[in-house]
Chain A
Amino acid sequence: MHNSDQGGRVSTRPSFMNPAAFLGIGALLAAVFALQEWVEVRQMSHHIDFTLLVKAWGVQYLLWGLICWGLWRFFGEELQKVSLFWAIAAVFPISILLSVVEEMVWVLCFPNLPLWMPHMNYWSRLLFQLRAELADGLVIFWCAFFLFRGVGYYQRFREKEAAAARLEVQLAQARLHAMRTNLNPHFLFNTLNSISSLMRSDVTAADLMLEQFSSLLRICLERGETQLIPLRDEMEFNEMYMAMQDRRFGGRIRQEIRVQPELHDALVPAMILQPILENAYQHGLSYLSESGLLKIEASKENTCVRLEVLNSGVGLNPGHKNGNNHNLGLVNVKDRLRLHYGENQSFSIKEVGQAQVLVSITLPLQLCEDPAQLLAEYGA
């Protein structure tokens, strides 16, 4: 069928515009008009055969139903697109022609009508009928015409809407994908470089870092493209990342992780905290010559999860204070949050206390439905 859906597109010929609908509406109108005339004639104390009325009106409107369906079926798209000029120059004459033809057929079907009139030949009957019904015919035609146009507009609107929605989903997925693959290489090569550097000074430390890094990599590969993961897994990753950083800082940084137990299964975007931690080390903790603090806290707030990262260091630089944040890692975090949760999330970075920086994220609480059963077995 030429009007079948193609690749999920919305058809310009919706299924409700089918022959049964056209004939059904025709029959309904016929019944209404037949009843109306019957009542009218009865009120004037005349008698009329109801079946004759039904037949006459029935043929009239079923003919129109057929005509309209034919117009829709064969010229629907042209009628939907036709310009004002051609509507007047071509469609209007056609409408008159079709109305006349319809009456010609009708008059042919009912040689005994009109009733209560002296006998007339075919042409005078047609003329009589046209005088009474031509305007009605035109009204029916133009109603159908505007209906077709309306259906066209409606369908195009639907299609545009569907296309926009599709595009939005694709865009969001593409962006999320790009961001995850952006995140990893940065972190990956920095770590490899650290290992390369350690190899020259401290083989044991390089070995340990390599082992830790392999573990991180193993977890990342296992996760694959999964965007949302249980907080427990996210925290495990952060613990590993922090353990790796800890070496570089020679244990000077006190690490604290506090997670409210009911949030272990809460879903969060994978590796959402890693850029924040990296930022905390790079722009805060690395400036400290003595002990520092890095604290992660996850708490439940009504229907939200609040994730907070606090680090000591040198406070915020002036760029941050003005809200002009050009740090790529943090911009990525914000973008990912927005793509996942729309306006239903928040991100803030501010200076608190003595040159400490607090990054705070809130996102809707959503629990993992079937947390993968972790490998755990008991034995001798």
Chain B
Amino acid sequence: MIPTILADDEILARQKLRHMLLEEKEIELVGESATTSETLGLVRREKPDLLFLDIRMHGKDAFDVVAELASDPYFPMPTIIFTTAHDSYALRAFEVHAADYLLKPFTSERLNIAIQRANLQIQSRQTHQPPLMAHANNNPYANRIVFKSRGRILFLPVSSIRWIGAEENYVRICTEGESYLLREPIGRLEEKLDPQLFLRVHRSSIVNLQFVKEVRTENTGESVVILLNGQKLSMSRSYKSRINEWLTHS
């Protein structure tokens, strides 16, 4: 069970989230608060693993709550999921390592994804991390990407990316069921991705090696990468030795 606190100054917003959380088996609601000072007191007393935090509440800004909690290095920082009607705080939320950013109104499906992500963060903190967000800086590669797509804010774990295709000044990031178009040169994205996990196989595509099934040469002589879901991506000759090397080692 995950001890959880929810903080929102609107009674109906709390009511809705409370109802939705009843459906989530792992969640154990240990308290609710409506102002920033209430939230600080409650979190300090209950030491929850998870905090649902509205950004604009009576009193201070929600980020002040985070900063005050973080000012005590021995306090076990809860994993945070922001809930808000405003999309303009997404970058700040990302910077304080929030597990997710839910734009109101959200569905229980979306909430469930957020809780799963939070759960992963909680587990990784419990096993091998100091209480605070110290694990951020020793890895030069991105674990997550934040962006806005179809009116939502996404904190996308790079592990869920299957492949990435370049489209002129844009990249199309493909996950299991969705694809997102981002205005970003593919080269810049490549720099951010761990080469142990992602491989540029073509001028215009990068694959997540976890999702590669095989590399094959077609009758036409063209090399292709075949993903686990059967999708084919064409491949440049120059990249072939690298992927073969990876395939033989794994």
Contacts and interface: CB of A to CB of B under 8 A. Distances in A.
Interface of A: 204, 207-208, 210-211, 214-216, 218-219, 232, 236, 239-240, 243, 261-262, 264-265, 371, 373-380
23 contacts: A204-B107, A207-B105, A207-B107, A210-B105, A214-B103, A232-B181, A236-B181, A243-B150, A261-B167, A264-B169, A264-B181, A374-B183, A374-B184, A375-B146, A375-B153, A376-B184, A377-B94, A377-B146, A378-B142, A378-B192, A379-B94, A379-B97, A379-B143
B139 interface: yes
Contacts of B44: none
Given A261-B168, A261-B170, A380 B145 contact: no
B128 interface: no
B190 to A, nearest CB: 12
A240 B148 CA distance: 13
B144 A379 contact: yes
B164 interface: no
B221 interface: no
B106 A211 contact: yes
A379 B136 contact: yes
B148 A377 contact: no
Contacts of B148: 374-375
Contacts of B106: 211
A236 B136 contact: no
Interface of B: 87, 90-91, 94-95, 97, 103-110, 133, 135-137, 139, 142-153, 167-170, 181-184, 192
Nearest to B158: A378
Contacts, number: 94
Given A232-B181, A379-B95, A240 B151 contact: yes
Contacts of B109: 208
Nearest to B91: A377
Contacts of A216: 151
Given A210-B105, A379-B144, 11 more contacts: A208-B107, A211-B105, A214-B104, A218-B87, A264-B169, A374-B147, A375-B148, A376-B147, A376-B184, A379-B97, A380-B135
A137 B245 CA distance: 104
Contacts of A219: 151
Contacts of A265: 168-169
B87 to A, nearest CB: 7
B107 A264 contact: no
Contacts of A371: 169, 183
A376 B145 contact: yes
Nearest to A375: B148
Given A210-B105, A214-B151, A376 B146 contact: yes
B194 to A, nearest CB: 11
A243 B179 CA distance: 13
A265 B170 CA distance: 9
Contacts of A379: 94-95, 97, 136, 142-144, 146
A376 B173 CA distance: 12
Contact of A380 (B90, B144, B181): B144
Nearest to B137: A380
B98 to A, nearest CB: 11
